[in-house]
Structure formats: structure tokens, C-alpha cells
Amino acid sequence: MKYVLGVDGGNTKTQYYLYTTSGEYVDCLRTGTCSHEQFADGFVGCKKVLGRQLNEILDRNRVKPSNLVYSVFGLAGADFEWQKVELSRIISSLGFNNFIVENDGYIALKAGSANGVGICSINGTGTVTVGINQQGKRLQVGGIGDISGDRAGGNYLARRVMAAVYDNCFRCGADTKLKDVIFETFKIAGKDDYAEKSIEVLSSADNILKINHIIGDIEKQSDKVAIDILSKIGEDLGKSTSGCLRAIECKGAVNIVLAGSIWVKGGYKAMFDRYKEIVSQSCLSETTLRYTVLKQEPAIGSIIWALESAGSMNKKMREKLIG
């Protein structure tokens, strides 16, 4: 039996999918992050964790790396060529031969685009934009911090909310309903306690999620500050998508895939409206945009890519995998 392996290695969790080359599901492992960016010892820690996780899914199915026709590793932190080279070296040392390492944004695009071509805007814990054109040219925009305009994602959104409340308390900022809800939710006695308490609040992933929910609720109450925060994030995301779209010269009907928890679960109208406005203003005249919110596991895109590379993919198989 011959197999393909698909890996979605994010900054929070990792998913491994094992399929046969005929497109039949074998197994899935959902576990913690393997990203080198999340370990104090960097690539050393990545190799330890990646090796342990790969052994777990392969050993329990009695599969060896040599039985894998192709593997696709979509990994957070695979932003620069030197990082991809280092990660490839690690994977080779674990016994893998036929594989590719790319940023995890690409596998979300493969999962959400009907033909594997277009743009994917990741807006989850963090943010990145990637694109693949009809000729296979790939480009990543963002994913390296402030210098690349990474002003999106759940962590950034939570910080912007807390900053807006700080502005209202201390910097003559506009009144906002966010203030009362934040004070009540996190039991902040008064503005004199806010600065210290806000740092504590933002240190918790659960609190960040709560803040993301709060701004969604306040947006529905037509709060101008909340709407402005969301609109600005949509604008920045739109600029990244527009730049990627123009650079790889996507033409005709172009799929725009929205992935990550903020896009998929957030439901922020102001963010999405401004995003579409910016992208539409910048796209080429001969381009038609088709927006899709990714409902599938992004990891399935790595299996689609692996089967394509193994020469096993066809339209019927792709439909089955997406379904």
C-alpha cells in the first residue's frame, strides 16, 4: 500500500492526515504545535516534537516514511527560504524523501479554492496572505510582523480593543461601549487599575478569545470605535490581498479564500465589507473575484497537494476529499 501525508502545523496546533494514493482516509492525528517559533530552543525543539508526532501517526498505522509517495508540510514559521531549508533538513533527517515545505497558508488555499489557484487571506491567531496563479507561481505577503503590515489576527484585534479602552481612559479617546464591557468582564475596579490589569488580561489566550467575542457583540450595537477598529483591520488585510493579487498577475475568475478563526467564526461585518472594498478597488479590470469562507480543515489542502504531486488527483477525488 502506498500513502500520502499532509501536515498542517500552526502556532497553536498541528494536524496530520494519512491517506492512500487512491484518496482513501487512513488516519488523523490532532496534537500540539510543532512550530519552531513556539519553542525556546527553536529548530532543535521543532525536530524533537515533529519527530515524536510523526512517529505516533506512522507507527500506529505500520507505515514507514519510505511508504509515502509524497508528503506536504504546511508549517507556520516557514516564511523565508532559509527557514524552509532548515525545516526541510529536519524532515530529511527523519527519513522523508519526497516532500515539500511551505507556509501553512498555501494548504488553506488548496483546500478552499476549486482549482487550487487564487489568494488565501489567513486571519486567525495571526495573519498572512498567500497566492498561487494559473502558472503555479507562488507568493507570500506578510507573516513577519509590523514591517509587512501584519495588523490582523485574534491577538492583534484583542490588543486594539484594549488600546481603545486605554485611549478613552487616558488619551482623550472617543467614548465606546467596549469600556464598560471590558471593565465588567475582567473585574477591573476603575481606570487607575486598568494599565496593569490590561497586561495581565492579554497574557491569557482565553481572555483574548473573550475580547474577540466582545468586539463582535459591540459592533452589532453600532459602536463607532468598534466599527473603526474592525474596518481598519479589513483595510490592512485588503492591501495585502491586493498586493499579492497584482504581483502574481491573477486574471479572470479568481478565488479569494478566507481562512482562520477570525474570518471563519468572527462574523465581523465591518471588517469584511472594508476588505472587499479595498480588494475590488485594486484588482485588474479583467479580474472577477469569488469569495469563499473556508469551512474545511485546512489540513485537507495538504492532502490535495500531496495527491496532485503524486499524480493521483482527479476532479472526482478532489470533490470527495472536500466533501
Residue 242 lies in a domain: no
Residue 253 belongs to a domain: no
Residue-range definition of the domain harbouring residue 308: 3-104+298-322
pLDDT for residue 207: 98
The tally of domains found in the chain comes to 1
Pairing of strands 13-20, 3-9: antiparallel
C-alpha span between 236 and 245 (Å, rounded): 14
pLDDT, tens digit (0-9, with 9 covering 90-100), for 48-75 = 999 999 999 999 999 999 999 999 999 9
CATH code of 83's domain:
3.30.420.40
Instruction: Give yes or no for residue 274 having a pLDDT over 70.
Output: yes
**pLDDT tens across 234-269, in order?**
999 999 999 999 999 887 889 999 999 999 999 999
In this structure, the number of other CB atoms found within 10 A of the CB of residue 227 comes to: 20
Please tell me the distance from the alpha carbon of residue 134 to that of residue 83, in angstroms, as a whole number.
Answer: 26
pLDDT digits (tens, 9 = 90+) for 2-51: 999 999 998 888 999 999 999 999 999 999 999 999 999 999 999 999 99
In a domain, 84, yes or no: yes
pLDDT of residue 175: 97
Confirm whether pTM is higher than 0.75: yes
Q: Mean pLDDT of all residues in the chain?
A: 94
Residue 276 maps to a domain? no
Query: Taking Cα atoms as reference points, which of 12, 138, 121 lies closest to residue 76?
Result: 12
Q: How confident is the model at residue 285 (pLDDT cuts 50, 70, 90)?
A: low
Statement: residue 190 has pLDDT above 80: yes
8 Å CB contact between 233 and 152: yes
Q: Is residue 226 part of a domain?
A: no
The pLDDT of residue 284 is: 66
